[in-house]
Structure 1
């Protein structure tokens, strides 16, 4: 197997690749949060008594298909955990 000689290679930095957000379907959001799909949609509905303006809003990917940004769901969960630890 041929070894690369690092002393002769140029130090060329590759263009930075954009971070592609990981998207979660409703089933995974239900799994990670422990909430039902009904509760999740109630938390998104301003008219509901369960409305939570801090809950991440879904992204419409196509007709009939939505998903949530994984990092936003994780941040929401972390904030809930932090709040629970303070009280």
Structure 2
């Protein structure tokens, strides 16, 4: 019986060590980037003159629900900040 409890504790500890990516809905992406939702979708559309291949692609979570990986948005913003002309 004790052995089962030890195995359960080990599994629980391993699961708590896993870091899940934080997903941002469109509203948060618009807030953090200062871009409108229209601009964001234009930046993802290869046929748009606003297309930006460096902008992170959204993740389809379910039918009708998408989100962006927070770390990818942060990295994209960091690149924009680093690339600015002083």
- TM-score bucket (shorter structure): 0.7 to 0.9
Please list, as runs of the form range in 1=range in 2, the aligned pairs for 1:1-87 lying within 5 A after superposition.
14-15=13-14, 17-84=17-84, 86=85
- The count of corresponding residues between Structure 1 and Structure 2 is 74
- 1-side partners of 2:19 and 2:83: how far apart? 29
Structure 1 residue ranges, 4+ long, deviating more than 4 angstroms after superposition: none
- 2-side partners of 1:56 and 1:27: how far apart? 15
- 2-side partners of 1:28 and 1:15: how far apart? 30
SS in 2 for 1:15: helix
Higher helix share: 2
Structure 2, unaligned stretches of length 5 or more? Answer: 1-9
RMSD after superposition = 1.5
SS in 2 for 1:80: helix
TM-score by length of 2: 0.80
TM-score by length of 1: 0.79
Structure 1, unaligned stretches of length 5 or more? Answer: 1-12
SS in 2 for 1:57: coil
